[in-house]
Amino acid sequence: MNSKQIAGEKACEFIQDGMVVGLGTGSTAYYMIQKLGDRVADGLNVTGVVTSKATEELAKERNIPLMDLNEVGEIDLTIDGTDEVDGLFRGIKGGGGALLFEKLVAQASKRSIWVIGEDKVVETLGAFPLPVEVVPFGYKQVERQLEMNGYKPVLRHHEDGSVYLTDSENYILDLHMGAVTNPEELNTWLNNLPGVVENGLFLNYATSIVIGYSNGNVEVRDK
């Protein structure tokens, strides 16, 4: 079992009968969803709320009952991956492009568990490029604003060279920073720029992290 599978499957144990569960996106959340599919097949009663079209497809394949985020009140628990997490449980998410829906679901959740391999724990955020979701209209102006303030935005592309579109048909500008020295300030500044829909700094959402290790161990850390 790889570290992502170990973490994903462990986190699935926190899902209880009757819960409304936020279903994260990515290759670690994948294992949680697979395990949840098995538990649903065995009779577990849950309602899932997806964070992306990809996760919706996977959850449907596994017969996990779903409701739209608009149809639920509070979500009991969300289990999602992250690209980085620091000692204060702040993270950078959106490597898979689902940051907007992920943040909306996290915001509605009483608890959020991030599932990760050991390599995702960092001292300082920012080695992973920070995704900034922008509307296509006038996005070059946002790029210009970012550059004028010393950032180096890179428009995200698919491997075939086409521009990457999020599930909301927006673009992503990845900021290669190396280190984010003041995540709170940057988060506020970015989200105040006209044209920015959301950014990948998730500062006050994770309540626990489940870390899978390549030696087979798993660790649960609570905030």
The set of catalytic residues is 102
Residue 86: half-sphere exposure toward Cβ, Cα within 13 Å: 19
Q: From the list 56, 83, 143, 198, which residue makes contact with ligand 5RP (rule: CB under 6 A)?
A: 83
24 is an interface residue for ligand 5RP by CB under 6 A: yes
Choices 59-67, 92-100, 144-152, 160-168 (CB under 6 A): range interacting with ligand 5RP: 92-100
Choices 75-83, 142-150, 160-168, 174-182 (CB under 6 A): range interacting with ligand 5RP: 75-83
Q: Which residue has the tokens 């210009």?
A: 144
Residue 18 or 197: the one with the smaller Cβ distance to ligand 5RP is: 197
Q: Which residues are annotated as a binding site for substrate?
A: 25-28, 80-83, 93-96, 120
Q: What is the C-alpha separation between 127 and 178, in angstroms, rounded?
A: 4
Please check whether residue 175 is in contact with residue 130, taking contact to mean a CB–CB distance below 8 angstroms.
yes
Residue 148 or 219: the one with the smaller Cβ distance to ligand 5RP is: 219
34 is an interface residue for ligand 5RP by CB under 6 A: no
Give the orientation angle of helix 53-61 with respect to helix 29-41, to 10 degrees: 30
Q: From the list 9, 15, 21, 26, which residue makes contact with ligand 5RP (rule: CB under 6 A)?
A: 26
Q: Which residue has the tokens 């829906």?
A: 101
Q: What is the C-alpha separation between 178 and 12, in angstroms, rounded?
A: 33
176 three-state secondary structure: coil
Report the nearest approach of ligand 5RP to the CB of residue 35 (Å).
15
Give CA separation, 140 vs 10, 143, 167, in Å: 43, 5, 20
96 is an interface residue for ligand 5RP by CB under 6 A: yes
Residues that bind ligand 5RP (CB under 6 A): 24-28, 80-83, 93-99, 102
